[in-house]
Each structure stands twice: as C-alpha cells, then as structure tokens.
Amino acid sequence: MSVDSPRTIVLLRHAKADWPSVADHERPLAERGRTDASVAGRRLADAGITPDLVLCSTAARTRETWKLAAHEMPQRPRTVYEERLYEASLGELLALLNETPDDIGTLLVIGHNPGMHALADALAGTAEADALARMNRGGFPTAAFGVVTFSGSWKSVEHGVGRLADYWVPHEG
C-alpha cells in the first residue's frame, strides 16, 4: 500500500458500562451496552468497513465491546490490546495513530471519552455536514462511532488532516 493511499480511521467509543463496585478499568458492560455493541458491529459490517487492524483499550468494557462487535463482522481482524488507550489524551491518541504501519488501510480504535470525541473532532478538517452537526449536537455517546478518511502516511496524521465521512449513534438506528 502506497503512503499516499486513502485510509480510514474508525473511532468507536465503548458501549454503555455498568457501575459495580470494581475498579474503573474492570467495569463490565451493562445489558444495554451488550446490545449496542452488537448493533455497532453489525452497522460497521453492513457499511462494508473491514478493519485491517484493531487497537482496543485494555479496559474490560472496551474488550467486551470489541468481542461483541467483532462477532458481527465477516472476519476478525488482527487485534492489539493497547493499554495506552485507557485515559489517553488527544496528544497520546495522535501519537498512537502515528505508530500505525503504512500497510494498514483501515484502522479501528476502540476507546473512551473524552478521547474518542476529541480525536474525531481534531482530525476532521472537513466533514459531511450532517455527520458533523450530529456529532457536535450529541457528543460521542457510548457505542457511537465516527469514520474519518484521509490520504497519506499514518505518520502524517495530525489536526485537520481528515474528513468525517460518517457518524453513527445506536439510538439513531
């Protein structure tokens, strides 16, 4: 794959988590979260989005979100459980994207807010007007995902480099 090839970043926030008496990192999904994670996976599959690589936070709720979403996809892509995604700042998220090998065309990142919303907002130099308006109006709720496209090397990913091509929230269908 050329460094100038079109690329896609899918930013998926973990699904709705439960609040049992456990450390934040170990919080499981709530019942609604389990349903929404599967629906998000189906929506990605129906849209023809097939990641070459998945970076998933090590938190229980992100791992469970990915397990349920992956089950809906035609094939399970290579997955890296990345502890740096947990509580990552915007700068840390950009640095992780810059480490992506250039043979990856589509990257799925499963993480947390405020990072997923901040990253989608930062990368989107341009956007589908409807997608941007809905993201700005509704924030980035659990199990939502944004699809950002760009051309160039992963090392060139920075503020404003992409286009917010799609934004989806489970309760919108």
The radius of gyration of the chain from alpha carbons, rounded to an integer in Å, stands at 15
Are 146 and 166 a contacting pair, CB within 8 Å? yes
Single out the residue of 173, 143, 167 nearest to residue 41, CA to CA.
Answer: 143
Determine how many CB atoms are found less than 10 A away from the CB of residue 76.
12
Domain 6-104+115-172, CATH 3.50.30.40 — does that match?
Answer: no
First to last CA, the chain: 34
pLDDT (tens, 9 = 90+) of the chain, 173 residues, equals 666 789 999 999 999 999 999 999 999 999 999 999 999 999 999 999 999 999 999 999 999 999 999 999 999 999 999 999 999 999 999 999 999 999 999 999 999 999 999 999 999 988 888 898 889 888 899 999 999 999 999 999 999 999 999 999 998 75
Specify the DSSP element, H or E, that contains 57. Answer: strand 53-57
pTM of the model: 0.96
Per-residue pLDDT reduced to its tens digit, 111-150: 999 999 999 999 998 888 889 888 988 889 999 999 999 9
Query: What are the φ/ψ torsions at residue 34 (nearest 5 degrees)?
Result: -65, -40
Single out the residue of 113, 145, 143 nearest to residue 30, CA to CA.
Answer: 143
